[in-house]
Structure 1
Amino acid sequence: MDIEKAIDAGLFYLAVHLALSVPDICGSLECDLDPDKPWKKVEKRYKDWFTENLSDKFLIFTVDDCWAMRGGVVHNGTLKSNRSSAKYDRIVLTLPSNFTLHECVSADNAGVIESALQLDAVMFCQQVRAAARQWALAKKDDPIVSKNLDNLVRFRPNGIFPHFVGVPVIA
């Protein structure tokens, strides 16, 4: 829902940031996390969730591309890769205009030796959002997911007992 609102408001960077967090969040909801080390196996959870829920939605964008993009955007604020194992030097997100390009590769243009994977920002976000919705329907009766949903950060219009009651919060 917040991804849609960000897109509708023209906040595409925010929408992409949220979309890149979806495999983290959903993967964590599926697990009994170690409360002392919740970050343990983050990459495996992320990649497993992407592989199971998103890999068939893309033609050339892979689990490794998404993991690298997540690390770049969420943690470093960049779409340029500095990893020697990356297939592309950068990822470029196109924004709504009079044409749409999605999952295209541009390489070695204007004498510059560089490759770029191009994704349409809105289409990317919509693909992730749709996969998350399908996942949520499939997991609606999963006891681990149900238990973990109680602690999911979200808007709580009536507060959170016993700390703030009757006051809207994010908790």
Structure 2
Amino acid sequence: MHEQLIVPWALHRILHDVQRCIDAKLYYPALIICLTIPEICAALTLTKEKFVKQKHYVEFVDKYTIPSQLGCDGLDCYRLRGGVVHRASFSGHPHFDASHIIFTTPETRASIHALSIVVGEKKAAIFDILMFCSAMNQAARRWFQDNKDNKLVEENLQNLIRDCPGGLPPFIGGAPVVASGL
């Protein structure tokens, strides 16, 4: 069992949504959230005028994940993210070294992780969704431990997407919304 490092509520809500997606068997949204965790964390260290680049993403993954738990390095994770987020295809990035990406799920009844299978000219990279998502969750928690005293992170956390059960006055009041901004 992993040690659960404490994170602020704003970041906790995002990480908790991953688990809620998995519990509901909504694996695609869970993976999208997990694949954007490095961007979310990296962006928290930047001013609003700066954008997260490949370099930031790869550095986060390589520093805060454990490769055997995630199943890939930072560059491959960045490429996986690009395929999923921009093309809705795990192997959609032109430089990802697999023609097929497979995530085992709890229903698979077998956990296969960080394995590649080659059949002819086709190559499948296989990951376990629970292990992959857990590795990203733990990476975000480790990252926060390193950045919890960063004033820019503290300020930027206030702008993360969050549930607002009573609305977001003065714009919408009395009705639940999901919002960001101060």
Same fold (TM over 0.5): yes
Q: TM-score normalised by the shorter chain: which range applies?
A: 0.7 to 0.9
* CA drift at 1:82: 5.1
Q: What percentage of residue pairs aligned between the two structures are identical? A: 31
Q: Which runs of 5+ in 1 are unaligned?
A: none
How many residues end up aligned between the 2 structures? 163
Quote the offset at 1:9 in angstroms. Answer: 0.9
**Is the Cα–Cα contact under 8 Å of residues 83 and 93 in structure 2 kept in the other structure?**
no
RMSD of aligned alpha carbons:
1.9
Can you list the C-alpha shifts for 1:140-160, whole angstroms capped at 9, x where unaligned? 222010111111112122322
Which of 21, 28, 31 is residue 6 of structure 1 equivalent to?
Answer: 21
Q: How does 1:76-95 map to 2 (within 5 A)?
A: 76-81=87-92, 83=94, 85-95=95-105
- TM-superposed deviation, 1:87: 2.6
Supply the distance in 1 between the matched residues of 2:160 and 2:70 (Cα, whole angstroms): 31
Runs of 4+ that moved beyond 6 A: none
- Aligned residue in 1 for 2:10: none
> For 1:44 and 1:33, how far apart are their aligned partners in 2?
17
Question: How far off its partner does 1:48 sit?
Answer: 1.8
List alignment gaps of at least 5 residues for structure 2.
1-15
1:15 corresponds to: 30
How far residue 56 of structure 1 moved from its aligned partner, in angstroms, is 4.4
CA contact 1:81–1:90 (8 Å) conserved in 2: no
Pairs within 5 Å for 1:22-101: 22-34=37-49, 38-39=50-51, 41-56=52-67, 58=69, 61-81=72-92, 83=94, 85-96=95-106, 97-101=108-112
What is the CA deviation profile of residues 71-126 of structure 1, one whole-angstrom value per residue up to 9, with x for unaligned ones? 0001100012452x433233211112322111011012xxx311121001121011
> CA 1:140–1:68 in structure 2 vs 1: closer, same or farther (change >3 Å)?
same
Aligned to 2:171: 163
- Aligned-partner Cα distance in 2 for 1:12–1:48: 25
Query: Partner residue of 1:113?
Result: 121
Instruction: Give secondary structure in 2 for the equivalent of 1:141.
Output: coil
Q: 1:60 to 1:2 in 2, by over 3 A?
A: closer
When the two structures are superposed, what TM-score results if normalisation uses the length of structure 2? 0.80
SS in 1 for 2:126: strand
Aligned partner of 1:10: which letter? Answer: K
Structure with the larger RCO, 1 or 2 (CA within 8 Å, 6+ apart):
2
Q: 1:168 to 1:136 in 2, by over 3 A?
A: farther
